[in-house]
Homo-oligomer: A and B are copies of this chain.
Amino acid sequence: MIRLQDIADMAGVSRTTVSNVINGNTKRVSQETIDKITRILKEQNYVPHMGSVMLSGHGSRIIGVVLGFATAHGMQSLQDSFVGELIGTIQTEAERKGYFVMLIGGEKIEDVVDMASRWNVEGLIILGYDEERYRQLSRKLNKKMILIDAYPEGEYTFQNVGIDDYSGGYQVGEYLYSCGYHRALFIAETDKDSDSRRWNGFKQAMEKQGGFCSKSRLIVVPGEKRQRLSRYEELLPRFLEVKALAFSSDYGAIEAMNYFFDHGIKVPDQISIVGYDDSIYAEFVRPRLTTVHQDIHQKGVISLRRLHRMIEGETLKEMNIKSPVRLIKRESVKE
């Protein structure tokens, strides 16, 4: 491997001078020298050894991307098509800004602390952490951090890049109401985090136009598939009566569509369905799923840009950036 010294020798100058032109401390170097060194640098395809660079006071320019998903089902959540896209975007943007991205398994807090200190990481982008895990981490590690899609109990006390759940829910509610489904139900697996915000948007939209939207229209279904399906069985009469269901995820919506299909119930003729996420398979089902689209690419770009600003020393005012969201009308709602 070719070293700074080698370049210096070829140019007939000292390491100092070469280093100066590389780092742009070029005020006190003659143009002639600059040109000569620049040419040699290029010819020789010189790249600095990052070990030395790190050691001599410069930052590592490494950004750690923490993969903090529950590994209960063996990294299950990484299969979400959105993870691949997000990571790809982050990598591209990082490279563009001169950063390097290192992947960190986030299951054990200690491992994250270990890797981040070992490599003197400049910042962290964290996927799949909740507020509690963030707290634990930030107690042990003093780094710039951006979370993706995290939800605090109260105010945002950390930098987050998420999506506008409320608005998505609102758009769904508004749309269903305008189609005449004044008593549509909202179905989710929890009443927290994204689910509660989406439900709130939905509720507000309904109330804006039609008066009270009772809490009983939020249906929290079991997380376990078998139980969930048997819940659907109980609820079927009510479903058929209200004629429209808004789900808090595409997964749930498609599962339900299939459930109805398997029971001979026609979507959207007998029941209209809306999803949330616009996952890659939303267009693959029949009828095509009406759902809320989020711009994952933009999310990646934003999180990187903001982390960059934090690393540069800026203090960001806004704590939570909501990337916008829009309803995609397809075929699963009868208008």
Which residues of A pack against B, CB within 8 Å?
1, 45, 47-55, 60, 62, 65, 67, 69, 71, 74-75, 78-85, 87-89, 91-92, 95, 100-105, 111, 113-115, 117-120, 254, 258, 261-262, 280-281, 284-286, 297
Q: Which residues of B contact A117 (CB under 8 A)?
A: 1, 47
B47 contacts A55, C-beta separation under 8 Å: no
Q: Which residues of B contact A54 (CB under 8 A)?
A: 49-51
Each complex incorporates copies of this chain amounting to: 2
Q: Which residues of B contact A1 (CB under 8 A)?
A: 117, 120
> Chain B residue with minimal CB distance to A91?
B103
Which of B65, B92, B100, B258 contacts A119, CB < 8 Å? B100
In the complex where A101-B102, A102-B101, A286-B258 touch, is A50 in contact with B119 (Cβ < 8 A)? Answer: yes
Q: Which residues of B contact A89 (CB under 8 A)?
A: 75
Query: Lowest 8 A-B CB distances belong to which pairs?
Result: A51-B54, A78-B88, A281-B281, A75-B88, A83-B84, A78-B84, A84-B84, A51-B55
> Chain B residue with minimal CB distance to A140?
B45
> Chain B residue with minimal CB distance to A65?
B103
B51 contacts A50, C-beta separation under 8 Å: yes
A115–B92 Cα distance when bound, in Å, is 13
> A327: shortest Cβ distance to chain B, in Å?
21
B49 contacts A52, C-beta separation under 8 Å: no
Which of B92, B95, B284 contacts A258, CB < 8 Å? B284
A75 contacts B85, C-beta separation under 8 Å: yes
B105 contacts A103, C-beta separation under 8 Å: no
A47–B115 Cα distance when bound, in Å, is 9
> A163: shortest Cβ distance to chain B, in Å?
17
A45–B140 Cα distance when bound, in Å, is 11
Q: Can you list 7 pairs linking A and B with CB atoms under 8 Å apart?
A: A47-B118, A48-B118, A51-B52, A75-B92, A78-B84, A81-B81, A83-B84
> A110: shortest Cβ distance to chain B, in Å?
9
A118 contacts B78, C-beta separation under 8 Å: no
Which of B69, B111, B113 contacts A95, CB < 8 Å? B111
> A249: shortest Cβ distance to chain B, in Å?
13
A100 contacts B100, C-beta separation under 8 Å: no
B85 contacts A51, C-beta separation under 8 Å: no
Q: Which residues of B contact A80 (CB under 8 A)?
A: 81, 84
> A63: shortest Cβ distance to chain B, in Å?
10
In the complex where A67-B91, A81-B79, A102-B102 touch, is A114 in contact with B47 (Cβ < 8 A)? Answer: yes
